[in-house]
Amino acid sequence: MKISVIGCGYLGAVHAASMAELGHEVVGIDVDAAKIEMLSAGRAPFYEPGLPEILTSARESGRLTFSTDMADAAGAAVHFIAVGTPQKKGEYAADLTYVNGAVDALIPFLAEGDLVVGKSTVPVGTAADLAARVETVGASLAWNPEFLREGFAVQDTISPDRLVYGVAAGEPGQRAKAQLDEIYAKALSEDTPLVVTDYATAELVKVAANAFLATKISFINAMAEIAEVSGADVTQLADAIGHDARIGRRFLNAGVGFGGGCLPKDIRAFSARAEELGRGESVAFLKEVDAINLRRRQRVVDLVIETLGGQPFQKKVAVLGLAFKPDSDDVRDSPALDVAVQLHGRGADVLAYDPEAMANSARLHPQLNFAESVDAALQDADVVVVVTEWKEFRALDPVRVAELTRGKIVVDGRNCLDAVAWRAAGWTYKGMGRP
Ligand SMILES: NC(=O)C1=CN([C@@H]2O[C@H](COP(=O)(O)OP(=O)(O)OC[C@H]3O[C@@H](n4cnc5c(N)ncnc54)[C@H](O)[C@@H]3O)[C@@H](O)[C@H]2O)C=CC1
Ligand SMILES: O=C(O)[C@H]1O[C@H](OP(=O)(O)OP(=O)(O)OC[C@H]2O[C@@H](n3ccc(=O)[nH]c3=O)[C@H](O)[C@@H]2O)[C@H](O)[C@@H](O)[C@@H]1O
């Protein structure tokens, strides 16, 4: 099928390449000319495992092209909207400027019978509004929220764990479902769950999923706070409650908290939308989820300063990790970058290292100093802080690290190091919510 993907960022570039990989003829459209130039040359504009390989194979197949010109979307039967929905400046609500702009720009190129498919994460009610607009030219709309995780984006798109279609009632909805089934035919196995529902439910499924994940993380981080004042170990607590299949161990890793381009802004946008709908109190707990999460960044900063006897000025701090999670170069609302910036602001001599996220960090915070390698960051450090659990950091040998550093203090902001091994090598080990 001929498909367009409007917006080629972390979601759209992966979606476009994956759809070509599934055999469709795809044009990816973005207003960012530099991004389109890179993608057209077969290069990924951000770090995502597996993306370079599928970009290359899709390009060689001739099924994937990119353009800055919306006119190139004309002739596609299905148009995916994958533009950003960031938090509005100074507000909690989502900024829908890009979604509205993309749909307005697309409408002149839609033909009767075309299907516009929303993938961006939007406040409930957006799809119904957009549907009315695309219907003016005889097109229809479906809402197909995306659940991919950065770092696993290709795998999650090509083999999704479930698909949700929000469609219109009656015959147009049935037609939309048939078109989406055809697009995803090769991605669906016999037992991939498929939920076909209305627009509002599809929109809410997405924000509810992210709100639940954020709540799960803040729950365990709240337990970490209690563990810190009672001498308990939150990692053992997580293992023990996680054995209950109703709870499950995943997303119970306490640490510096969640970040990224989605969970933080999605819970805030959800709160704002609920308030607009007169039901702010129903999700008032999300404000607490957010507050717990932000306290954990502060906790890491405080721990580092505490280990330095309250005197961070001119002390060398090796910050290992800047990305919001491993296997990504994304630093949007990254707790790791936030910790580096705060420590720098408090007068510490911060030298940061991340395998993939330094260029993005330097663009946002040029005041920070970056090391060329993990060893260069560790050289003469008074304190080592791990804030993104890259494999390279988890595998560090405490005996070898001690040969590089000046002090032997490590703050493990992700509880990802072997505390016993580091202590055995003579280190003062400080974890999150564990003695
Ligand atoms: N990043 C992720 O892992 C996931 C993101 N989402 C949602 O997907 C949406 C996009 O997120 P990201 O890809 O992370 O954002 P992003 O910021 O990486 O990409 C958005 C892209 O849209 C482009 N754009 C803006 N206006 C445009 C227009 N009028 N026409 C064409 N292109 C335009 C921008 O230049 C940018 O390249 C958001 O709503 C997000 O919440 C959903 C699931 C996963
Ligand atoms: O809407 C989105 O964009 C996506 O948001 C998240 O995916 P992502 O942001 O890529 O990353 P996650 O793996 O969910 O991690 C989010 C943050 O939580 C943190 N985290 C995760 C798990 C955990 O136990 N503890 C914890 O602190 C991570 O370090 C990271 O900062 C969701 O997992 C995806 O399903 C969703 O599609």
- Same domain for 32 and 179: yes
Do 73 and 137 lie in one domain? The reply is: yes
Residue 146 lies in a domain: yes
Widest distance between CA atoms in the chain: 71
Residues in the chain: 435
pLDDT at 59: 87
Q: Which residue has a Cα nearest atom 42 of ligand 1?
A: 146
Its pTM surpasses 0.95: yes
Looking at the structure of the chain, the number of domains it has is 3
Going edge to edge, which strands form the sheet with 428-430? 369-370, 349-353, 316-320, 383-386, 409-412, 428-430
Q: For residue 347, what are the domain limits?
A: 298-430
Ligand nearest to the CA of 213: 2
Q: Is residue 262 annotated as part of the catalytic site, yes or no?
A: yes
Burial class (CB in 10 A: 0-12, 13-18, 19+), 242: middle
265 is in an annotated binding site: yes
Identify whether residues 192 and 334 lie together within a single domain.
no
Same domain, yes or no, for 256 and 215?
yes
Residue 193 lies in a domain: yes
Q: What's the Rg (C-alpha) of the chain? A: 23
Residues contacting ligand 1 via CB (< 6 Å): 6-12, 29-32, 35, 82-85, 98, 101-102, 105, 120-121, 146, 148, 150, 261-262
29 & 160 share domain:
yes
Residues 50 and 193 in one domain: yes
Q: Which residues contact 309 (CB under 8 A, 6 or more apart)?
A: none
Q: What is the CATH number of the domain that holds 391?
A: 3.40.50.720
Judge whether 202 lies within some domain. no
**In 3-state terms, the chain is what percent helix, strand and coil (to 5)?**
45, 15, 40
Bridge partners of residue 350, in order along the sequence: 317
Residue carrying the six token digits 């296997």 = 327
Q: Looking at residue 316, what is its pLDDT?
A: 98
Amino acid 190: pLDDT: 85
Instruction: Tell whether 365 and 257 lie within a shared domain.
Output: no
Q: Which residues line ligand 2 (CB under 6 A)?
A: 121, 146-150, 210, 213, 217, 251-253, 255, 257-260, 262-263, 324-325
Domain for residue 17, yes or no? yes
- What does the pLDDT read at residue 75? 97
- Whole-number pLDDT of residue 189: 85
Domain assignment of residue 279, yes or no: yes
Q: Are 116 and 76 in contact (CB under 8 A)?
A: no
Please list the rounded mean pLDDT of every run of 10 residues in the chain (435 residues): 98 98 97 97 96 93 97 98 97 98 98 98 98 98 98 96 97 97 92 96 98 98 98 98 98 98 98 98 98 98 96 96 98 98 97 98 98 98 98 98 98 98 98 97
Confidence (pLDDT) at 318:
98
